[in-house]
Structure 1
């Protein structure tokens, strides 16, 4: 069974904004923002509808990162 190290608190990473080079904040899985019930759905099932065709087969969790300095958002693929 594969688990996301960020979602499960096993690891922290620092992502820097590609625009202003300031540290970004992890806002969690992108699929959690789909609707009110998305955070409670099965993670593997949500990977089939997340808009990225290989997240399920590559065991990747798609995280949204937000820059509080310039308000930019970036998506990063986290290996499970």
Structure 2
């Protein structure tokens, strides 16, 4: 079983926005934004449905990073 170091508070990732240069903020797992119940669903089941081939192997966790200045969103795959 793999765990995401970001979801579990073991590590932080700092990203610079490619549009405006400001620091982006981790908004959480991408899967948590699908619908009202997705944050409560089994993580591995949600990875099978997210449409990303990188997550199907169970080795990467997609996180949504947002720039608070220009509102640009970017999905970053975190190695578990």
Q: Name the structure with the higher helix share.
A: 2
Aligned length: 80
Q: Normalising to structure 2: TM-score of the pair? A: 0.94
2-side partners of 1:58 and 1:78: how far apart? 11
Partner of 1:57: 57
Large movers: runs of 4+ above 2 Å = none
5 Å-filtered alignment, 1:63-74, equals 63-74=63-74
Q: Normalising to structure 1: TM-score of the pair? A: 0.94
What is the DSSP-based 3-state SS (H/G/I as helix, E as strand, rest coil) of the residue aligned with 1:54? Answer: helix
Asked if the contact 2:47/2:58 (under 8 Å) is kept, the reply is no
Partner of 1:78: 78
Structure 1: give runs of 5+ residues left out of the alignment.
Answer: none
What is the DSSP-based 3-state SS (H/G/I as helix, E as strand, rest coil) of the residue aligned with 1:26? Answer: strand
2-side partners of 1:16 and 1:58: how far apart? 26
Partner of 1:47: 47
2-side partners of 1:58 and 1:7: how far apart? 14
2-side partners of 1:78 and 1:49: how far apart? 18
